[in-house]
């Protein structure tokens, strides 16, 4: 089936490849471009469509919500993945967004396979493809379980992630009772230990945008005495395979696995469209440790460019240049290391969240005789509702009192209560982002956003001033790349605002599908219009 698009004469793609880079800021496309060859990021930049003003439209900006939002075309308020983990009021404990204790690991005897998409409360674009065309194939892979599970949706033909115990790829009994032979063969021939080597800079030091290796803003990983090159394989592997996953070699392993999946599953080989979902987790794992202005991260992106080139070459050979469509985006970006901001006389800093929670409970104990906050999670405060009911107190009054107290904290930008959000009161821009990330079942009783440049820490020691995180409503966390290549698209740049939820809304029309259940995104119509 063919369609006349503004940029070219295109057919429905035989294979759609979705690439999510975990923790990629928009500016990396340009800050690191001197390292890029012609067939990696430059395939997109020189020959594809660059949506330059793509942002997340909710908070918190974490890996789980990001992947879910990209592939459902809606926000956490609808798909339910409100964070990587949240406090479950019924279970009285935190739960992980893909945790599933009813399933077992397939591919090893470890605990790392006890996961599934059962907490995802709506359908994905991958689900919609399988519902519509049952013989279409969907394969989803990542180092992180959530990076594979949420894109693959509920109906994938294969969803695989990394086992930190064995250094191989696994799945769960939610999907199958045994790994396919090609996955078993890959695990036998290419375990993580076969990729592990000394990590040295790929280029001479003066070729990098930063020439200081021993930075005070980087965490020192276990096995090292300083955050400096080289990282020997003995140092990287001193703990278990967790060290391996923050090196560029984990990206290489994932690319090789993606190519194997493409070939062995025969993706893009028949008349029906297939989807391959790839999430590169290593940039996030390393980014947390070293920060966005580190030599380590720059070298990872230099090498990741080569992995993308390898993937493109396999697509050209196996599927054909005119037969596939690729998009690349990120699940979130990242805040610069706050201590680095402070040292450069920029706004930023740290909030000791444990001390703040203790202070709130002391206030409640003095006034009501009991500490009424059970848990703080992702700047959400969860109240002890059973105790509140037993004491005959009004939940909404308590929410308002705690909210008002938090608003007086100098490092806090905005506070909203569940009562505010349930009433659909008129909200500011940041408030709308909180509302889009909120559900009454899984979010806290009181939610807050810190001021720009601030992150929360469990304490305030020297070590907590190294490394960084993400999760806020601000542009350093929300502005991400969105690139398209293939299927006849020609080079173009789009500058208007685009929301992350628009990606799957666009895929609906490339694949001729019904919009998934709770999709709110809009198609990027410039891909069809002159």
pLDDT digits (tens, 9 = 90+) for 446-458: 999 999 999 998 7
Same domain membership, residue 291 and residue 166? yes
From 412, 443, 449, 447, select the one nearest 430 (Cα to Cα).
449
pLDDT at 4 over 50: no
Q: How far apart are CA 493 and CA 50, in angstroms?
A: 5
Given 431, 448, 465, which residue is the final one in a domain? Answer: 465
Same domain membership, residue 456 and residue 488? no
pLDDT band at 468 (very low <50, low <70, confident <90, very high): very high
Exposed, middle or buried by CB within 10 Å (0-12, 13-18, 19+), for 500? buried
Angle at 121 between CA 118 and CA 123, to 5 degrees: 95
Q: Give residue 516's pLDDT.
A: 96
The whole-number average pLDDT for the span 45-53 is: 97
Q: Is residue 343 part of a domain?
A: no
| DSSP character at residue 464 | G
Q: How far apart are CA 337 and CA 442, in angstroms?
A: 29
pLDDT digits (tens, 9 = 90+) for 171-222: 999 999 999 999 999 999 999 999 999 999 999 999 999 888 999 999 998 8
pLDDT above 90: percentage of residues in the chain: 92
Cα 443 versus chain centre, distance: 19
Sign (positive or negative) of CA dihedral 227, 302, 249, 292: positive
pLDDT at 7 over 80: no
Indicate the range of 147-151, 233-237, 377-381 predicted with least confidence.
Answer: 233-237
Q: Is residue 141 part of a domain?
A: yes
Same domain membership, residue 441 and residue 309? no
Question: Does the bond joining 10 to the residue before it have cis omega, within 30 degrees of 0?
Answer: no
Q: Give residue 530's pLDDT.
A: 54
Paired tokens of 281: 């987790």
Q: Is residue 444 part of a domain?
A: yes
Paired tokens of 57: 């439209």
Q: How many residues does the chain have?
A: 530
Q: Give residue 301's pLDDT.
A: 98
Phi first, then psi, for residue 444 (nearest 5°) are: -80, 175
Same domain membership, residue 240 and residue 104? yes
Same domain membership, residue 434 and residue 485? no
Paired tokens of 133: 């065309």
User: Are 16 and 273 contacting, i.e. CB atoms less than 8 angstroms apart?
Assistant: yes
pLDDT at 130 over 80: yes
Q: Give residue 223's pLDDT.
A: 84
Q: Give residue 211's pLDDT.
A: 87
Indicate the range of 120-129, 144-153, 239-248, 362-371 predicted with least confidence.
Answer: 239-248
| Coil, helix or strand at residue 286 | helix
Same domain membership, residue 361 and residue 316? no
Paired tokens of 447: 């939610």
pLDDT digits (tens, 9 = 90+) for 154-179: 999 999 999 999 999 999 999 999 99
Q: How far apart are CA 223 and CA 256, in angstroms?
A: 28
pLDDT digits (tens, 9 = 90+) for 174-184: 999 999 999 99
The whole-number average pLDDT for the span 316-335 is: 97
Q: Give residue 3's pLDDT.
A: 38
Phi first, then psi, for residue 8 (nearest 5°) are: -175, 175
Same domain membership, residue 401 and residue 262? no
Q: How far apart are CA 435 and CA 277, in angstroms?
A: 28
Same domain membership, residue 454 and residue 483? no
Q: Give residue 1's pLDDT.
A: 39
Which ranges in 376-428 belong to alpha helices (H)? 385-390, 395-407, 418-422
Alpha-carbon dihedral angle through residues 232, 233, 238, 243, given to the nearest 10 degrees: 100
Q: How far apart are CA 287 and CA 300, in angstroms?
A: 10
The whole-number average pLDDT for the span 494-500 is: 98
pLDDT digits (tens, 9 = 90+) for 252-311: 999 999 999 999 999 999 999 999 999 999 999 999 999 999 999 999 999 999 999 999
Residue the block writes with tokens 């720009």:
452
Paired tokens of 53: 């003003």
- pTM equals 0.96
Q: How far apart are CA 492 and CA 48, in angstroms?
A: 6
Same domain membership, residue 295 and residue 159? yes
The whole-number average pLDDT for the span 68-83 is: 98
Question: Does the bond joining 287 to the residue before it have cis omega, within 30 degrees of 0?
Answer: no
Q: Give residue 145's pLDDT.
A: 98
Q: Is residue 84 part of a domain?
A: yes
pLDDT at 144 over 60: yes
The β-bridge partners of 54 are: 480, 498
User: Are 338 and 453 contacting, i.e. CB atoms less than 8 angstroms apart?
Assistant: yes
| Coil, helix or strand at residue 327 | strand
Q: Is residue 244 part of a domain?
A: yes
Paired tokens of 292: 């966005």
Q: Give residue 529's pLDDT.
A: 67
Q: Is residue 415 part of a domain?
A: yes
Q: Give residue 8's pLDDT.
A: 43
> Number of folded domains in the chain?
2
Phi-psi region of 433 (alpha: psi -120 to 50; beta: other; left: phi over 0): alpha
Residue the block writes with tokens 């290593």:
282
Given 442, 465, 488, which residue is the final one in a domain? Answer: 465
Q: How far apart are CA 385 and CA 363, in angstroms?
A: 17
Q: Is residue 344 part of a domain?
A: no
| DSSP character at residue 395 | H
Q: Is residue 342 part of a domain?
A: no
Indicate the range of 78-87, 231-240, 242-251 predicted with least confidence.
Answer: 231-240
Structural domain including 105 reads 2-337+473-527
| DSSP character at residue 99 | B
| DSSP character at residue 376 | E
User: Are 124 and 153 contacting, i.e. CB atoms less than 8 angstroms apart?
Assistant: yes
Q: What is the DSSP string of 149-177?
A: HHHH-SS-SEEEEEETTTTEEEEETTT-S
Q: What is the DSSP string of 21-75?
A: ESS--TTHHHHTGGG--TTTHHHHHHHSEEETTEE--SS---HHHHHHHHHHSS-
Given 420, 437, 465, which residue is the final one in a domain? Answer: 465
Residues annotated as catalytic are: 63
Helix or strand holding residue 417 (H, E): strand 412-417
Q: Give residue 222's pLDDT.
A: 87
User: Are 456 and 2 contacting, i.e. CB atoms less than 8 angstroms apart?
Assistant: no
Q: Give residue 423's pLDDT.
A: 87
User: Are 245 and 259 contacting, i.e. CB atoms less than 8 angstroms apart?
Assistant: no
Same domain membership, residue 171 and residue 316? yes
Same domain membership, residue 62 and residue 32? yes
pLDDT at 239 over 90: no
Q: How far apart are CA 317 and CA 264, in angstroms?
A: 14
CATH number where 127 lies: 3.40.720.10
Q: How far apart are CA 141 and CA 277, in angstroms?
A: 6
Same domain membership, residue 370 and residue 333? no
The whole-number average pLDDT for the span 92-101 is: 97
Mean pLDDT (the chain) is 95
CATH number where 373 lies: 3.30.1360.150
| DSSP character at residue 456 | E
């Amino acid at each position: 089936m063919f369609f006349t698009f503004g940029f070219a004469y295109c057919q429905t793609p035989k294979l759609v490849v979705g690439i999510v880079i975990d923790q990629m800021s928009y500016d990396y496309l340009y800050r690191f471009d001197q390292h890029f060859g012609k067939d990696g990021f430059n395939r997109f930049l020189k020959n594809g469509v660059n949506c330059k003003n793509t942002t997340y439209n909710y908070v918190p900006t974490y890996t789980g919500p990001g992947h879910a939002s990209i592939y459902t075309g809606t926000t956490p308020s609808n798909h339910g993945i409100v964070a990587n983990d949240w406090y479950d009021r019924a279970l009285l404990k935190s739960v992980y967004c893909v945790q599933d204790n009813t399933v077992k690991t397939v591919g090893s005897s470890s605990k790392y396979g006890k996961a599934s998409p059962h907490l995802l409360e709506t359908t994905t674009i991958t689900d919609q493809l399988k519902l519509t065309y049952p013989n279409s194939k969907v394969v989803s892979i990542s180092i992180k379980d959530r990076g594979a599970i949420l894109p693959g949706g509920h109906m994938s033909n294969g969803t695989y992630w990394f086992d930190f115990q064995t250094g191989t790829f696994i799945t769960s009994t939610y999907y199958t009772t045994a790994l396919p032979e090609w996955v078993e063969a890959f695990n036998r021939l290419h375990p993580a230990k076969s990729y592990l080597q000394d990590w040295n800079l790929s280029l001479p030091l003066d070729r990098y945008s930063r020439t200081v290796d021993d930075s005070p803003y980087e965490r020192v990983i276990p096995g090292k005495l300083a955050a400096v090159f080289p990282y020997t394989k003995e140092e990287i592997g001193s703990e278990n395979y967790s060290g391996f996953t923050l090196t560029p070699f984990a990206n290489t392993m994932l690319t090789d696995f993606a190519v194997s999946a493409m070939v062995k599953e025969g993706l893009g080989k028949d008349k029906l469209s297939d989807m391959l979902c790839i999430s590169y987790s290593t940039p996030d794992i390393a980014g947390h440790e070293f920060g966005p202005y580190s030599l380590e991260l720059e070298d990872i992106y230099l090498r990741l460019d080569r992995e993308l080139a390898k993937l493109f070459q396999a697509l050209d050979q196996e599927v054909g240049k005119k037969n596939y469509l690729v998009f690349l985006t990120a699940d979130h970006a990242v805040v610069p290391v706050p201590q680095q901001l402070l040292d450069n006389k920029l706004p930023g800093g740290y909030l000791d969240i444990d001390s703040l929670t203790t202070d709130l409970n002391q206030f409640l104990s003095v006034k009501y005789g009991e500490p009424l906050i059970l848990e703080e999670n992702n700047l959400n405060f969860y109240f002890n509702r059973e105790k509140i009911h037993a004491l005959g107190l009004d939940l909404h009054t308590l929410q308002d009192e705690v909210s008002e107290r938090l608003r007086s904290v100098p490092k806090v930008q905005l506070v909203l209560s569940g009562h505010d959000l349930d009433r659909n009161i008129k909200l500011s821009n940041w408030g709308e982002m909180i509302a889009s990330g909120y559900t009454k079942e899984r979010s806290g009783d009181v939610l807050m956003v810190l001021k720009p440049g601030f992150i929360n820490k469990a304490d305030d020691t020297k070590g907590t001033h190294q490394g960084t995180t993400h999760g806020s409503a601000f542009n350093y966390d929300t502005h991400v790349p969105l690139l398209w290549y293939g299927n006849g698209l020609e080079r173009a740049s789009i500058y208007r605002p685009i929301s992350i939820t628009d990606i799957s809304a666009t895929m609906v029309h490339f694949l001729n599908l019904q919009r998934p259940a709770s999709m709110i995104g809009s198609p990027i119509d410039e891909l069809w219009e002159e």
